[in-house]
Copies of this chain bind each other. A is one copy, B any other.
Amino acid sequence: MQAPDALRALVESYLSELALTPELGGLAEPIRYALGGKRVRPTICLATAEAAGGTVEAALPAAAALELVHSFSLVHDDLPAMDDDDLRRGRPTVHRAFDEATAILAGDALQSLAFGHLLAADDPRAAALARLLAEAATRMVEGQARDVEAEHRPLSEAEVVELMSTKTGALLAASVAGGAACAGGRVEDVLPAGLKLGLAFQIADDLLDLTADTRTLGKRAGKDAARGKATLPAILGAEEARRRAEALLAEALATLEPLGPRAEPLRAVARFVLSRKT
């Protein structure tokens, strides 16, 4: 059983060694640049694999593929035609550091690399895992489309929750489901925790946008409010939103109870989701 930091270090080393095909040519650099981050999804995937009685090693290809898909979505979300962000993880966004065409293509390649990498793994479950990832990616993109469209009109609380569960929730749930599947475990045992974690994660993200400063956050803070974007903190107030996130986390942890001590790293990552400062 490994602590979240150890899992994160494993992901880090795996991703840095991940054989970026030499054919990527000029895209290799923006792709590596785009692959910074907190590794929340892959760490959740590995911790769930352990919680479900599997090994971390068997889950590494799926964990890496999740991070590649997540990174692709950030690169495209940051584009001028989308969120138009200049700063991500304390550095210029990909289209700022390179150019827009490069950012579009690097995002596209990150997605195809995710599937190529996962399917190249010598694992009979690769097809099922890749299907799970593909379906989560489609839901995530659809959520992002809904998010863009929602900027033009006010959303109800239920609509915001539905939006969060596609835009952020789908890939976080897939991280949990993928980890369980890698361990040969039952996806149903952990999926409720994944869905709740996804919502808690997005609320925490929206709270940080509201309360943290740009330097700490590494990306532009306060932009949701500036755009009048509907988030749970905007609708319910920061305090009530935080209470909701904590309740979701408690519910997620409760559903992990039957897994016993093996799920301790997953519980620790779940708690980090809410306590993180960036």
The answer to whether A99 touches B81, judged by C-beta atoms less than 8 angstroms apart, is: yes
Which segment, of A106-114, A212-220, A253-261, faces chain B?
A106-114
Number of chain A residues close to chain B: CB under 8 A: 47
Contact B24 A138 (CB under 8 A): yes
- Would A141 and B105 be within 8 Å (CB), given that A112-B134, A134-B115 are in contact? yes
Interface-forming stretch among A8-16, A143-151, A187-195, A267-275? Answer: A143-151
Nearest to A111 among chain B residues (CB) is B111
Contact B166 A138 (CB under 8 A): no
Task: Report whether A104 and B119 are in contact in the complex, using a CB–CB cutoff of 8 Å.
Answer: no
Q: Which residue of the partner chain, among B107, B115, B166, contacts A115 with CB atoms under 8 Å? A: B115
Cross-chain contact of A105 among B119, B120, B148 (Cβ < 8 A): B148
Q: How far is the CB of A15 from chain B (nearest CB, A)?
A: 17
Number of copies of this protein chain within its complex: 2
Is the pair A142, B27 in contact by a Cβ cutoff of 8 Å? yes
At the interface with chain B, which of A43-51, A123-131, A230-238?
Answer: A123-131
Q: Is A101 an interface residue (CB 8 A)?
A: yes
Q: Does A89 contact B (CB under 8 A)?
A: no
Q: What residues on B are CB-neighbors of A239 within 8 Å? A: none
Q: List 9 A-B contacts (CB under 8 A).
A: A23-B139, A24-B138, A26-B142, A27-B145, A101-B148, A104-B104, A109-B145, A112-B135, A126-B127
Residues of A in contact with B (beta carbons under 8 Å apart): 21, 23-27, 72-73, 76, 79, 81-82, 99-102, 104-105, 107-109, 111-113, 115-116, 119-120, 126-128, 130-131, 133-135, 137-139, 141-142, 144-146, 148-149, 166
